[in-house]
A and B are shown apart, each in its own frame.
Chain A
C-alpha cells in the first residue's frame, strides 16, 4: 500500500514535469515542490573528517556541496559531530520521503 502511494506520487511528479522532457531547463524544479533552484534551503552535514558541507534534501533531489574558507580550504567548524546533519536541510520541500 505504501509502495503504491509512492508510485502514484512519482507518476504525478513526472507528469507535472511533462512539458519539459527531456528536461532542458536545469535551473528550476518542476515537480510537486516547484521553484527556482536559488531558493534551496540548506543545513550542514559534517563529514567523517569533521568538515562542513551544505546539505539540501529537496524532495526527490538531494544536493551536497562544500563549505569553504576564502582561500578554498574546508571549513571544519565543529558545529556537529562527524557523520551528522544539522539545520533546516529538509525545509525546502513538503514531499514526504518515505523511502
Chain B
C-alpha cells in the first residue's frame, strides 16, 4: 500500500497523470480476462463545424488535436440545422416514379435560386414497402432528378445519393411514418 502511494506521488511529480482503465477482453465466447491499461487522461471537448457536425478537439498546451466524431459505422455525428429543405416526395413524384411535373420543377428552381448557398447536397429516401435494392435505385433516380433541376437552375450540386429505406426519419410502419420517410433532403453548403 505504502509503495503504491509513493508510486502515485512519483508519477505526479514527474508530470505524468496516469489513468488506469480496466478493460474486459473476451477470449472465446465464455472466458473473460481483465487487464490494466496505463495511459494519460486526454478527455476531449466537442467543436461543431459550420455544417453542424461534431469533432473531438483537445488543446495540449502548444499543440492542438482534432478528429471527426463518427458513429462506429463511419457516419459523422451532426446537428444538421443546415438541412435547408426536406421535400416530401409525395409532393414531387407519383408512386414508383422519378419524373416531376413542370409546376413542381418551377417551384424547385425557385427554391434553389433563392437559397443563397454555395452548393447543394441532395439525398433521396424511400419508405420500406418495396425490396431494399429496388428502393436504393428509386431513391437514387429521384435524387438525380432533383439534382438535374438544381443544375438547370444554374446552381452547383456538390453531392447526390439515394439511401433507399436505410435511413428512415420516422420509425414504425404506420401510414404517417411511411409518408415522413418518403423524402428528398437538400443540404445547403455555405
- The interface of chain A, by Cβ under 8 A from chain B, is 13-14, 17, 21-24, 26-31, 36-38, 40, 42, 54, 56, 58, 60-73, 75-79
Contacts and interface: CB of A to CB of B under 8 A. Distances in A.
A42 B49 contact: yes
Contacts of A56: 64, 66
A62 B64 contact: yes
27 contacts: A14-B61, A14-B62, A26-B42, A26-B60, A27-B59, A38-B45, A38-B48, A38-B57, A54-B49, A54-B50, A54-B55, A58-B64, A63-B64, A63-B65, A63-B66, A64-B66, A65-B66, A68-B76, A70-B76, A70-B80, A72-B75, A72-B76, A73-B159, A77-B119, A77-B156, A77-B189, A79-B118
A66 B68 contact: yes
A13 B59 CA distance: 14
A90 B159 CA distance: 28
Nearest to A77: B158
Given A65-B49, A70-B76, A27 B121 contact: no
- Interface size class, chain B: 35 or more
A78 B120 CA distance: 12
Contact of A26 (B44, B76, B189): B44
Interface string B78-92: 101000000000000
Contacts of A28: 45, 59
Q: When A and B form their complex, which 6 residue pairs have the shortest distance between CB atoms, in order from nearest?
A: A61-B64, A27-B45, A26-B58, A72-B74, A63-B66, A68-B76
